[in-house]
Structure 1
Amino acid sequence: MYGTSDPTAAERTAFRRAEKQYKLYKTLNVKGRSRSRSRSGCRPSSGEGGGADLSAVVDFHALLAADGELPDGIGRRECPGFDRPVFCFLDRPGFYFIPGALSTEEQCCWIRESLKTFPQPPNRTNLTAIYGSISDLLIAAENQQILVEAENPDIQERNKQNNCGGKTESKYFKFVDSESQKGEEHRSNAATTLVRKLRWSTLGLQFDWSKI
């Protein structure tokens, strides 16, 4: 969908190309040997001018405000009984954009759902392939918990009874209070960090969006 001269672009999926081009990066100030988050900010992916290259982005709100001729490849549909404009890409059948379709309150509602409800098992997220099914991610982040790798006693006992050799799936991840893990050597990730890394959730028929 986006033109590029990068020879490595063919190795990336469409999702990852768009994510890399437009996502915001969190910048951290370095003080001595440690990084401080006290004066951090966000910046877009860098373009030639030091900011994000938005030349390929279609601003439907600007099109609506201009109320003039539409650019090539952009169409507008009139739906009887529907009082909002509907735009579409002519070469992307089935994709429609409706400016102002959701109120601010409705947007906040769906944002909360996308963080609190949608990532819940059995739904898959981009984190599932790394950590397996993890529940209550947002609650864990609010409580400043961390995700640690632990032994699964049920699977361990099953492997022992079946005399399984070689690699076994006896590991799983769980949220614990950070204070309880002081002095412990565990592979851990802060729940707040995992929330920032959450990219997508799949509802219903499960699909891995990182592979498209």
Structure 2
Amino acid sequence: MKKYTPWKQILRPALTRFATHFIQLEEITRQKQGLREMFNLKEFKESKWGKQKSGPAYEAKKIVLGKGFWKKANDLIKVYEPLVRVLRLVESDEKPTMGFIYDAVDRAKRAIQQNCRYFIEYEKIIDNRWNFMHSDLHSAGYFLNPQFQFGVEHSENVLIETLEGTRSVIERLEPSMDTQVRMVNQVRFNYYYL
């Protein structure tokens, strides 16, 4: 295989499991032509693996020479790629990410919707996971992030959700009702002038 895939490694472990699977799939699709050539060469056909009519080598040959696997692999990459970007952002130690996660998930969903024909099924999975891990802190981080406040179009749902999340965080952090009212009013004031 290495002879026909310019000595590339298909299996390259990464620090996290999600990245390992994505990197493997991406590398397999990059090496599609070399893998197909390998199974079509006389050298392989005359080997003991090429003569088998069942078993792992025979199954691998059917998969690599078929079209279904490559189509599904490309579809998965279109879904995986935006999600891996989100997960890399979350794992980053370079800068605080709380104010960026909300937007990153939204961007990933839009990218998947544009590139994948099975978006509805994936959207349900992403929404279930996001609803499980999402907190008011994500909403407040997004709402209070100046990068997303000016010159950026927001849907009404995003503004309402992030404003409510911010209000909820303020109420939990500040025990004094007077201070809560002032802070919430200041946030609402900023909201109406965006």
| TM-score, normalising length: structure 1 | 0.26
Higher relative contact order (CA 8 A, sep 6+): 1
Per residue, is there more strand in 1 or in 2?
1
Q: From the CA coordinates, give the structure whose radius of gyration is larger.
A: 2
